[in-house]
């Protein structure tokens, strides 16, 4: 079953917490690219 992304993903993907910490200290975060397997493209 597909699941929409959201805050619950931070528990599964540690880099999400890293990005949150960067934002807390004033960094601007811009996602330029994401990896998507061929079967999901």
pLDDT at 26 over 90: yes
The pTM is what?
Answer: 0.50
Average pLDDT over residues 7-21: 80
Name which of 37, 17, 13, 41 is nearest 29 in CA terms: 17
The residue with greater pLDDT, 30 or 3, is 30
How far is residue 23's CA from residue 27's CA, in Å, rounded to a whole number? 5
Tokens (6 digits) for 7: 């805050």
Q: What percent of the chain has pLDDT over 90?
A: 12
**pLDDT value at position 1?**
59
The residue with greater pLDDT, 3 or 1, is 3
């Amino acid at each position: 079953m597909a699941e929409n992304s959201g805050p619950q993903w931070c528990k599964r993907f540690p880099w999400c917490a890293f990005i949150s910490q960067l934002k807390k200290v004033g960094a601007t975060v811009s996602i330029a690219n994401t990896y998507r397997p061929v079967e999901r493209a």
